[in-house]
Amino acid sequence: MMLVRHIRNGTVVDHIKAGKGPGVMKLVKGDTEDPVVLAMNVSSTRHGKKDILKLENVYLDEDTLDLVSLLAPNATVNLIKEGEVEEKRKVKLPSEIKGVLKCFNPKCITNQEREPAEPEFKVLKNPVRLKCKYCGEVFAEKFFKNVQKP
C-alpha cells in the first residue's frame, strides 16, 4: 500500500475518475513551486478506482473549480487549513463558462486578433459538452480533456 502524507494547507481534489487526474493536474497546478501529488488508480469502494490530487499551499478559485467539473464532474474538493479539513464540497457543472477557456475552433472570433471577443461557452450535459456562444461549435470531451486556461 502506498502512503501519501497529509498536507498542512492547500487543496485535495478527490474522486477524480481514474485516468483523468493528469488532465486535472495540468489545469490546476499553475506555476506553484510547492509540492503537488497525483495518486492514480487508487482503490475506491464507491468507484472501484479513482485519482486523487493534493496541492500544497494552493487554493482553487471558482473559475478553476468550474473547469475541474468539466474533467471530473464527480470530484470532491477539500480545503485544508492547519492540517484539518476546513471545507468539503462537490464540484458542480456550471451552466456557462466565460473568459477562462479558449474556443477550440481556430476560425472563431475569440481566436482572432483583429476583433477579439471574450470566449463564452454554454455547458451541455449528458454527456458533458461545450457550445461556443460565438461560432456555435459544440465540443465533446475529447476536445477539452487537455483543457488549459488561456
Residues 6+ apart with CB under 8 A from 104: 137, 139, 143, 144
Under the banding of pLDDT at 50, 70 and 90, the label for residue 34 is confident
Per-residue cell: 29: 497546478
Whose CA is closest to 143, among 95, 108, 113, 91? 108
pLDDT tens digits, one per residue of 82-138? 999 999 999 999 999 888 788 888 899 988 887 778 889 999 988 889 999 999 999
Can you give the pLDDT at residue 145? 54
The whole-model pTM stands at 0.81
Residues 24 and 74: beta-carbon distance below 8 Å: no
In the predicted model, what is the mean pLDDT of residues 20-32? 82
Q: Distance (Å, rounded) from C-alpha 36 to C-alpha 49? A: 20
pLDDT surpasses 70 at 147 = no
Q: Cell 451552466 sits at which residue?
A: 95
Q: Distance (Å, rounded) from C-alpha 76 to C-alpha 1? A: 23
